[in-house]
Structure 1
């Protein structure tokens, strides 16, 4: 059976996400990010294109590593200003029936008891279409604004995350029995107390004695996304993730990440295919190759090198203002985003990137490939990437909001459907049921 390609849309509740500088293009509409209609229009567009979900990124700090200041990030709208992604979900869910919502929340700065209630609420309000992108954070500025001198070390953040997951699983999966809600109006009993259980959790980082405040939601545990490909991140993903998001500039890098993740999942006692892997990409297309190439050349004029370096510095914890643009990027271990730097260095030792090349690359679409061409050419590229790397689909960044996604929906989706490589209709049920044909998160 031919493997189908799956799409998520990669967005952020901000002006500029993965293509710093492109917000200045006259056709871009990202400045409307504070307008609810902006998000409703996007959700309806993505559902028309049968996207699995909109994947909403987030950070809780400013990109202030570059030149030791947030000035460049503020000047160029590098993920600042930035609004809460979770607040968008009810808006978009009300306007759609099938589209999923993968929201990013840094567990390092959110207590599991209150967070579990927030996600259960969203799972109820979306009728089971909510997913959680589990991140531990990578910006020291976020830690400082939440009362810490700096963030925990990279591996200790994952130690905390392991316990965090233990707490939320207990709240979501174990606190309420399936038959706890009786809704007996004659007896005046809504919930049967004997079927609701305090979790009595007491660990190194958290103490949560009580029961979950929410009755069981359609999925109980939201669909779990994770994006780390450091050794510690891979181990965490093998235990918890149902979907993963990887970023790499080449087939070689993405295949390495995908193979490593599937091997780790199997080692953890799960089926290696019991994991959906989405790779970041940007599609630039038009009805003809000439038009697509012209669009690509037009977009390249709006790449902002300083904005891209502010973004890369924040991702990696390395101040790239200290290096000449023609200096070669070497792998430097840091407590920020190890994966971001490794994708330009250690993940592919045969490819040596200069600072300028990396900035130009991420300046249009972030850390994934840019696929340019007419619908047939782009479909060929998507099939080649999937077939060569073993990924399940793509987390699509945009150059212009919402033009990029409209081009994908109107031009690429029909071509892939014609080839039998893309769904024509949504499966029934919750987000987890649509992707995995099961109601509950599987456990080892």
Structure 2
């Protein structure tokens, strides 16, 4: 078999909580997940991922609780399923101080924070990380989050993306257009820090936001952080194709992923962008060891610590359907719609019972999945890249840090031996590391239309 030699992107996928995707495994004797409240947990994780030359740590987030299952939060609380959950942005500066190259993708929803204050938070992170931060743009999906922010219910899906369109427009104006590159200076003889003539109010008057003034922060290295996005719906894909630089998909099969990648690249081209200015990564769970037998034993051990009720609490929230209404041996069908294509495929339209689903998806709840030796895992990841045109993977841990340790110690050397994974970091910002084309967004991006900086400053 002939394999592509494109360099694979790898992110560690985690969340500032005790149980992210695989409910229950915080109980595993090797797991350090309950230390998520300690800054050392995060600095040690960052250093580990940098040892493995990972491109970044992708930190998920929600601002609500999974209370669909059984009509309340009890199952989520008992299993620790994404609750309690701390702020993902606050752990980034310490991790950046403990590393030199690792990037950080942080999740924040456009539905629950005003863009003016959020622009400052992200510019601050870009300054403190020396240009190694990215923003995962989400619109939010939990009804509990909406209610606890004073809304009667979550804003309808299409309307959330209309708001996100304007939200990002405000941010682009603040990040790219408010301050000129040479507005600030500290050279000898200069008698002012910022030149008022080179700092511009954005005068935004829109349907959802009114922001008349200047950005509160001077330009950071990247100005606009690297733009991540995760949205599988038709509207979500269109938004990602127009805005995102890295798109995260949770496709469970190569067939689903292949279609999604081709669709997104086609939409990016239609938006006037190079289709490969969008890096696409798929979720993946890898269980590995020195040998196939060791990997299988590791998987069997992990399975003993999974929490079925916690898994159903998460899936009920993701699907918006209370799965407690089904008995374990009832066939479960999920109505096909544009928002849940991957999940619908997993459920098999009534071909699986809930018991089957819990058994099959106890660990591989999002994206692809494989158990095997380093060679077997590398074969699978390489085949997925070649067969789908995906750029890389967000690796979901089963336990932390053990899942990442296993992958770094066993699989990374095999990927490097094949020439499809880097052996050293590129210097520079996260955007330059990912694309090799400089620190700023390219002129083809919609944010570029809001720039005031000179052509000489962009070179």
Contact 1:329 1:345 survives alignment (8 Å): no
Contact 1:328 1:353 survives alignment (8 Å): yes
> In the alignment, which residue of structure 2 is the partner of 1:420?
419
The correspondence for 2:231, drawn from 217, 225, 228, is 228
> In the alignment, which residue of structure 1 is the partner of 2:74?
71
> In the alignment, which residue of structure 1 is the partner of 2:381?
382
Superposed CA offset, 1:135-189 (max 9, x none) = 0000010111111111100110000000001000000000011111122553421
Q: Distance in 1 between matches of 2:126 and 2:174?
A: 14
The correspondence for 2:119, drawn from 104, 111, 116, is 116
Gaps of 5+ in 2: 445-459
* Aligned residue pairs, count: 440
Superposed CA offset, 1:374-413 (max 9, x none) = 1111111111111111101010001111010001111111
Deviation at 1:357, TM superposition (A): 3.4
Deviation at 1:333, TM superposition (A): 6.9
Q: SS where residue 145 of structure 2 aligns? A: helix
> In the alignment, which residue of structure 1 is the partner of 2:215?
212
Q: What is the TM-score of this pair, normalised by structure 1?
A: 0.96
> In the alignment, which residue of structure 2 is the partner of 1:357?
356
Contact 1:345 1:352 survives alignment (8 Å): no
Matched, 1:149 2:152: yes
Matched, 1:440 2:436: no
Deviation at 1:260, TM superposition (A): 1.5
Q: Distance in 2 between matches of 1:107 and 1:84?
A: 15
Matched, 1:373 2:372: yes
Matched, 1:255 2:258: yes
Mark the CA change 1:32 to 1:215 in structure 2 (over 3 Å): closer, same or farther: same
Deviation at 1:356, TM superposition (A): 3.1
Contact 1:184 1:190 survives alignment (8 Å): no
Contact 2:25 2:302 survives alignment (8 Å): yes
Deviation at 1:323, TM superposition (A): 2.1
Mark the CA change 1:369 to 1:351 in structure 2 (over 3 Å): closer, same or farther: farther
The correspondence for 1:39, drawn from 38, 42, 45, is 42
Contact 2:139 2:164 survives alignment (8 Å): yes
The correspondence for 1:86, drawn from 85, 89, 95, is 89
Contact 1:21 1:363 survives alignment (8 Å): no
Deviation at 1:443, TM superposition (A): 4.1
* 131-140 or 301-310, larger mean C-alpha shift: 301-310
Q: Distance in 2 between matches of 1:90 and 1:201?
A: 31
Q: Distance in 2 between matches of 1:51 and 1:81?
A: 27
Deviation at 1:3, TM superposition (A): 1.2
Contact 2:252 2:346 survives alignment (8 Å): no
The correspondence for 1:307, drawn from 297, 307, 310, is 310
Q: Distance in 1 between matches of 2:435 and 2:351?
A: 39
Q: SS where residue 191 of structure 1 aligns? A: coil
> In the alignment, which residue of structure 2 is the partner of 1:106?
109
Q: Distance in 2 between matches of 1:350 and 1:147?
A: 36
> In the alignment, which residue of structure 2 is the partner of 1:292?
295
> In the alignment, which residue of structure 2 is the partner of 1:244?
247
* 116-125 or 182-191, larger mean C-alpha shift: 182-191
Q: Distance in 2 between matches of 1:221 and 1:371?
A: 36
RMSD, aligned CA:
1.7
Deviation at 1:33, TM superposition (A): 0.6
> In the alignment, which residue of structure 1 is the partner of 2:100?
97
> In the alignment, which residue of structure 2 is the partner of 1:342?
341
* 86-95 or 352-361, larger mean C-alpha shift: 352-361
Gaps of 5+ in 1: none
> In the alignment, which residue of structure 1 is the partner of 2:163?
160
The correspondence for 2:174, drawn from 163, 171, 176, is 171
Contact 2:333 2:347 survives alignment (8 Å): no
Q: What is the TM-score of this pair, normalised by structure 2?
A: 0.93
Q: SS where residue 275 of structure 2 aligns? A: coil
Q: Distance in 2 between matches of 1:350 and 1:152?
A: 28
Contact 1:344 1:352 survives alignment (8 Å): no
Q: Distance in 2 between matches of 1:269 and 1:257?
A: 19
